[in-house]
Structure 1
Amino acid sequence: MKRKYLILLIFSQLNIFAQDKVLITKFPQIISIKADSFQLFYPTWKKSLTFKNVNRDTIDMGNDAIKNAFYLLIYDNDTLKIKYENFPFGQKTFIPIEMGGKRFIQRLRINQTSAFFSKEYITKNDKKVNFEIPEVFELANIIWSLSPKGQSAKNLNKNSKYYSKVYNYFKPYLNHQLFKDLDSSVKNYYDAYYDFRENSLGFSFNKQKIIREEPYFYVIGSDWVNFNSLFQKLIPQIEDFAKTSNFRGFYKANLPYYEESIEKQKVLMPVQKMWDWLENNFDNKYNTYKVVYSPLIDATHSTQNFNTFLEGGKGRFQETVMFVCGPEIFENSKTTNLKEQEGLASGIVFTEIDHNYVNQLSYKYQKQINNIFDKRDIWTGTNGDTDRYGNPSSIFNEYMTHAVFCIYVKENYDEQLANKIIESRVNLMVEHRKYIKFKEFNDKLLSLSGGRKAKDLYPDILNWASTVK
């Protein structure tokens, strides 16, 4: 018998409403099933579930968003096709079903996705490292550095010719309403700074308009269900500021400087070398890395992971984006030795990259880590940044990521230079960040390494850490 297909999302027949940006659809009629079972099939993943002897009021099936995805509900001689119509936001579809004398609700979920990588993007970027100073991202950094909070901040790079150029060019526009609105929106400086800076990555210019554009929809923040961010909230003012000040003309005029900066960054941060070393030392695998930066960033770095599930259940494409400072920081340092500058700069991006490996493995040892690093007085001091790491795992991960970097340095630089770079890292961790046992922790991990893979050092370093008082 020929199977009949019903298309569910015909809007005139459905009860449809939005809960924030999540699309809710309720099928208006009961699906009566004569057989004792039915199937749900998600073709994108080639994932199928059979439901039989249902004894709950609601049964659920969920997947992450993929463009043009759909479900098939297969029963008797019919197939119901449920389209995903709300990309990249979430969608919930409720279907009343009667089977075996029972009535229940089948809920189909497709969760929002913070990024989507097209086939073309994957083909172009797989196994590659990219360095970028994106236009809207640079606009966000310029705005923040000129804002009242940015003017008094100590986490920005203001000791450069570029900053002077930025300030002098945009000085006539400092009374723009944008700066008043931004200043009044900041409750916690660092939360607002990361929110404003990093969520700008999901936007680009379309002439004078700023639009959300693939592959990134949302980077960081507490409301990722609806992708609400400080940057998005202020887009009308940001657009007006960019137009009034001719920001796009400023950015275009400085393209030679940005391009030269990127070439320097590639030398000082040999990401491919670090990537190869980490994947040899850990089991995690990533498809591509991207270094995003502004010459205005100083010591506030972060990393974010994005992925897209591949069609046909073939796994996922994973990209790691690192937000870091520019090479000017190291050109202005006390050393003129390029190799030493490379080692110091590498510490910034390496300790962002290896969080993607260290943190994942730490889950395996979480109970032991919690028991040891819950004693914060042993491991952390005051007047650093340790208060921003609120649980034992996050404290251990900071220790481990920076100590793994020291192993990398030991294996990739001559002894004299390696010792100098490691000494600088120890000083950063102990004196500035207040991870007060880092020297002892690092010395122990280095003594344990001896050619062993970093992933195999966890049991020994944790056994040692359990004896520290």
Structure 2
Amino acid sequence: MRKTFLLVLLLIMSSAYAQEQKKVNFDEQFKKENQGKTKVEIHEVKELLHIMIAITEVGLENDDMVQQSGTYYQDVLKQFKTFKNEKIIGKFDSLIKANAVNYVLITGNGMSYDFKGNKLVPDKNYIFPAQSVSSHTTVKTNIIKTWKSDIENFAEKSGFRAFYKKHIPYYKTLISQYNTTANLDEQWKWLEKNFDTRVNNYTVLTSPLINSLNYTTSYHDNGFLQILMVLPPLDEPQGRTEKENTVYNTRVMFTEVDHNYTGAPLKKYTELINESLKEREKWVNVKQEGIEYYPNPIRVFDEYMTFAVFYLYCADKYADDSPTVAYAYRDVNEIMKQRGFIKMKEFNDELLSLRKKYPTKKIEDLYPDLLQWCKMQ
């Protein structure tokens, strides 16, 4: 199951979110409270759903879908595993086994409800946020609404709300790490200085139980654009300096955030992109697992840009710190090569060269020159 789920994640990241039913309601109060702000949250109902999935048969077997290391996971097993035979757990298990993307359609709709006592009440702003994962994987009814009574019964029987309250200090620690290490506000300001795209709000939903799942979606209503990202907690691996660790963790978030900026000009340059990257084997290792989810020049170019722009950000942020810039350069080039993007180093070098040549231009205005370079490869 582990390998299968990793492939599904790539589908999630490339998904098209069809506007079939109203997803959100950004009223004037919501707009006023969220304009120009970032938020990192461990949403209570969403966390309940992650816990419920963690004790399904498929969740217990899959350490890519569920983060199974650490004391928090052990706390979850200690309190909730005894309820794994509840009807609703079996239902979630069967849904995910039938189609792994149901993991997203279950947890992604968690924010559409809030607790009021032991009952779930509809959220006034998030109506039905997760309706599709790709053009061929959609749901017409909110799964949380369908199984609302069973979810309420599970939460009450298992003592979930007390568990959540007990762990709030730990949740706050994870949120604080995001705010101090990844610094989404700084990324946002840099991107809007360097691109024409404008976003009204960024929200990150995380959970100690998320492992390999990263995805981004956007909601637009009433003239308000929110980018919502689902990300795992920040990592603190051994063997890195404090700045290297910041670069490493920032990359995970930044390369989700900047898709909203690097992708915006693609339509304008579609014909040139298709011509410049038409020889696929020059740009990707076609034998690399997962590269098939970047099937055309547009997708390939955007992925190159996403990571190259992150390197430009690091080059600006750490302009007086050459060892950290060098680490960011190696990190980006190595991870992309591993993923099958074989010309990342050359692409990075060319974009940086153009940036130095035209320091006052927006990054998207460098696309034509960059694509002419691509065409000559």
TM-score by length of 1: 0.69
**Contact 2:58 2:97 (C-alpha < 8 Å) held by counterparts:** no
Equivalent residue number for residue 198 of structure 1: 108
Match of 1:296 among 209, 219, 232: 209
Decide which structure has greater helix share. 2
Equivalent residue number for residue 121 of structure 1: 30
Note the C-alpha offset of 1:225: 9.2
**Contact 1:182 1:234 (C-alpha < 8 Å) held by counterparts:** no
Structure 2 Cα separation of the partners of residues 305 and 208 of structure 1: 30
Map residues 15-414 of structure 1 onto 2, 5 A cutoff: 112-155=21-64, 156-186=66-96, 190-222=100-132, 227-309=140-222, 316-327=223-234, 330-331=235-236, 333-335=237-239, 337-381=241-285, 382-413=287-318, 414=321
Note the C-alpha offset of 1:397: 1.4
CA deviations 1:80-106 (Å, max 9, x no partner) are xxxxxxxxxx9xxxxxxxxxxxxxxxx
Tell me if 1:466 matches 2:375.
yes
C-alpha RMSD over aligned residues = 2.4
Structure 2 Cα separation of the partners of residues 458 and 230 of structure 1: 42
Tell me if 1:445 matches 2:351.
yes
Note the C-alpha offset of 1:346: 1.0
CA deviations 1:410-461 (Å, max 9, x no partner) are 1112221121123122222221x22232222222222222234311221122
Equivalent residue number for residue 5 of structure 2: none
Q: What runs of 5+ residues in structure 2 fail to find an aligned partner? A: 1-18
Whichever of the two has the greater Rg, that structure is: 1
- Aligned residue pair count: 349
**Contact 1:116 1:307 (C-alpha < 8 Å) held by counterparts:** no
Over 3 Å counting, the alpha-carbon distance change for 1:195 and 1:375 in structure 2 is farther
Q: What runs of 5+ residues in structure 1 fail to find an aligned partner? A: 1-89, 91-110, 310-315
Note the C-alpha offset of 1:182: 1.6
**Contact 2:182 2:253 (C-alpha < 8 Å) held by counterparts:** yes
Note the C-alpha offset of 1:153: 2.3
Structure 2 Cα separation of the partners of residues 445 and 188 of structure 1: 44
Structure 2 Cα separation of the partners of residues 238 and 370 of structure 1: 48
CA deviations 1:296-350 (Å, max 9, x no partner) are 21232111111222xxxxxx121111111112xx22x024533222211111111
Worse-matched range after superposition: 186-195 or 159-168: 186-195
Structure 2 Cα separation of the partners of residues 300 and 226 of structure 1: 20
Structure 2 counterpart of 1:463, which letter? Q
Over 3 Å counting, the alpha-carbon distance change for 1:249 and 1:430 in structure 2 is same
Equivalent residue number for residue 434 of structure 1: 340
Over 3 Å counting, the alpha-carbon distance change for 1:171 and 1:188 in structure 2 is closer
Note the C-alpha offset of 1:378: 3.2
**Contact 1:192 1:230 (C-alpha < 8 Å) held by counterparts:** no
SS in 2 for 1:323: strand
**Contact 2:41 2:205 (C-alpha < 8 Å) held by counterparts:** yes
CA deviations 1:137-169 (Å, max 9, x no partner) are 111222222222222224232222211211222
TM-score by length of 2: 0.85
Structure 2 Cα separation of the partners of residues 399 and 405 of structure 1: 10
Note the C-alpha offset of 1:220: 3.2
Structure 1 counterpart of 2:230, which letter? F
Note the C-alpha offset of 1:213: 1.2
Structure 2 Cα separation of the partners of residues 385 and 189 of structure 1: 18
Note the C-alpha offset of 1:390: 4.1
**Contact 2:131 2:139 (C-alpha < 8 Å) held by counterparts:** no
Note the C-alpha offset of 1:354: 0.8
Structure 2 Cα separation of the partners of residues 391 and 207 of structure 1: 50
Note the C-alpha offset of 1:375: 4.1
